[in-house]
Amino acid sequence: MKRWIVVGIFLPMLFFAEEFRFNQTVGTKYRFKNFVKQTVYVNDKVAANLEQLHKAVIEVLSNDGVWAYCRGKYEYYLKDVDRYEAFQLKNIYDSRFQRDTYGRMIVPADVVMPVVRGVPTFPATNLVPGMTWTAPGEEAQELVEGRLYRVPFEAKYIYLGEEKVENVSYPVFQVMYQVRYYPSDRYIRSYTGMTTIKLYWDRQSQGIRYYVEEYNFMITLANGESQSFVGTSEGLVDVLQEEGVKTNLVADLQQAVKTNEALSLREDVDGIIVNLGNILFEFDKATIRKEFEKGLDQLAEVLKKYPKLDIVVSGHTDSVGNPTYNQKLSELRAKAIADYLLQRGVSQDRISYIGYGDTKPVASNTTAEGRAKNRRVEIKIITKE
C-alpha cells in the first residue's frame, strides 16, 4: 500500500490571525520526495518489511480564478529495508487534478496518484494557534490489484503554532483521520484504519514544506484474509528552479568524460546522459572492472556538486539470449553502478536504477557493432523536470 500526500520545540509568539492559502500561480513547479518504512502483516503475521521512495513533479498549468489545473508524474521506488543501496524504479504514474486555494481537490476517476487528496484543506477564515476545524478528504487505493477504490474520510485539524526547523520558523498543523470503508463487492469486506500527519507550512512558497506521518490500516478480503499496513512516512517539497544549472553541469561532465575513454556524453530533452558502455563490466557479469573505478570516482565527484539533481541509472542489453535473463542482467548492472555511486557519496534520495533488458536498443541488433552499442549502462542526470 502506498502513502502519498500533495502537500521540535514550539516557539513563544504573539498570536495573530493568519490566512493560509495555496499558491496557484501558473508555471509553478513543485517537486515532492516521500520516504516510507512499512511493515506488512498477513493474518497478523509479518509478511514483509518495505522501504519505499516516491517522487513527483507537479506543475500548475492553468488557473480559472477558482480552480488551478495541475499535472505531473509520480514515480514509485522500492528497496530492501535497512540496506544502504539504491532504490529500484518500479512504476511511473501520470497525474492530473484541480485544486483551489483552500486545498480542495477534484481528481478524475481513473487517476491513481496522489493517494491522499484534499489534505490539507483550510477553512475560509484566518487562523490562530489552537484553532480546530474539519474538512472532507479522500484516499485512492488499489485495495486489490487492478481495482481502484475511492475512500472518503473526514479529517480533523488543529493549528499547533510555530516550530523552527534549521533556523526557519514554520506554522505547523496536525491532521488526523480514520477510515471505515465497506465496499459492496466480491473482493473487499472492509478497509479500516487511521493516520496522524504533521504538516509544516512554508509562508514564502505558500505550500507544504515538510510532513511526517504515522499510519495503521487493514484490508479484510471477502475470503476473510486480512492484510495490515503499519508504517511511517516523511516528505519534503521544493519549488523547482531549473535555469542556469545545465550549462555548468555539461562543462563539468565534459571534463570528466575527456579523461575517460569508456564514457560518452549526450544531451536529452530533460537532462544529460552519460553512456558508460559495456566494457566496464566483466563478461556476462555485473562486476565492475577495477580499471574503470577511477572514472566512476571522477563522475561521482561531479554529481555531488549538484545535490538537487536526481539521477537514474539504466541498464541495457542486446537481443541475444533469453529475454528474462537479459532483463535481470540489465537490472544487476544498473544496480551495481548506482550502488557504487552511493558508496562514493552520492545521496540515496537522488539516485535510482532500472533495467530495460533489450527493449530500448540504440542500434541494430543484426550486426556485432550494433549489439555492442546496445550493451550499455547509462546515467541520466535530470536537469529539467
A 10 A CB-CB count for 103 gives: 21
Structural element, H or E, at residue 296: helix 293-304
Asked whether residue 45 is assigned to any structural domain, the reply reads yes
Q: Is the pLDDT of residue 262 over 80?
A: no
Same domain (yes/no): 160, 299? no
Q: Say what the pTM is.
A: 0.84
What percent of the chain clears pLDDT 70, i.e. is strictly above it? 94
Domain's final residue, options 239, 254, 281: 239
Q: Report whether the peptide linkage leading into residue 120 is cis, meaning its omega lies within 30 degrees of zero.
A: yes
Domain's final residue, options 203, 220, 239: 239
Q: Is the pLDDT of residue 11 over 50?
A: no
Same domain (yes/no): 230, 264? no
Asked whether residue 13 is assigned to any structural domain, the reply reads no
Residue whose cell numbers read 509568539: 13
Round to whole Å and give the CA distance between 121 and 101.
Answer: 9
Asked whether residue 116 is assigned to any structural domain, the reply reads yes
Asked whether residue 323 is assigned to any structural domain, the reply reads yes
Encode 170-198: b = buried (16+ Cβ within 10 Å), e = exposed.
bbbbebebebebebeeeebbbbebebebb
Same domain (yes/no): 201, 138? yes
Same domain (yes/no): 266, 375? yes
Burial class for 130, CB neighbours closer than 10 Å (0-12, 13-18, 19+): exposed
Same domain (yes/no): 375, 258? yes
Same domain (yes/no): 197, 280? no
Amino acid (1-letter code) at residue 349? D
CATH number of the domain that residue 155 is part of: 2.30.230
Same domain (yes/no): 258, 365? yes
Band (pLDDT 50/70/90 cuts) for residue 330 is very high
Asked whether residue 15 is assigned to any structural domain, the reply reads no
Q: How many CA atoms lie within 13 A of 247 on its CB side?
A: 2
Same domain (yes/no): 141, 214? yes
Cα torsion 268, 312, 215, 31: sign: negative
CATH number of the domain that residue 374 is part of: 3.30.1330.60
Q: Is the pLDDT of residue 9 over 90?
A: no
Task: Give per-residue pLDDT as tens, 12-26.
Answer: 444 578 999 999 999
Residue 101 in contact with residue 24, Cβ under 8 Å? yes
Coil, helix or strand for 255? Answer: helix
A 10 A CB-CB count for 380 gives: 16
Asked whether residue 14 is assigned to any structural domain, the reply reads no
Q: How many domains does the chain have?
A: 2
Domain span including residue 227:
29-239
Domain's final residue, options 204, 239, 274: 239
Task: Tell me the average pLDDT across 162-177.
Answer: 94
Q: Is the pLDDT of residue 308 over 80?
A: yes
Same domain (yes/no): 201, 227? yes
Question: How do strand 68-80 and strand 87-99 relate by DSSP bridges?
Answer: antiparallel
Highest mean pLDDT among 54-68, 69-83, 231-245: 54-68
Same domain (yes/no): 153, 255? no
Same domain (yes/no): 217, 299? no
Asked whether residue 21 is assigned to any structural domain, the reply reads no
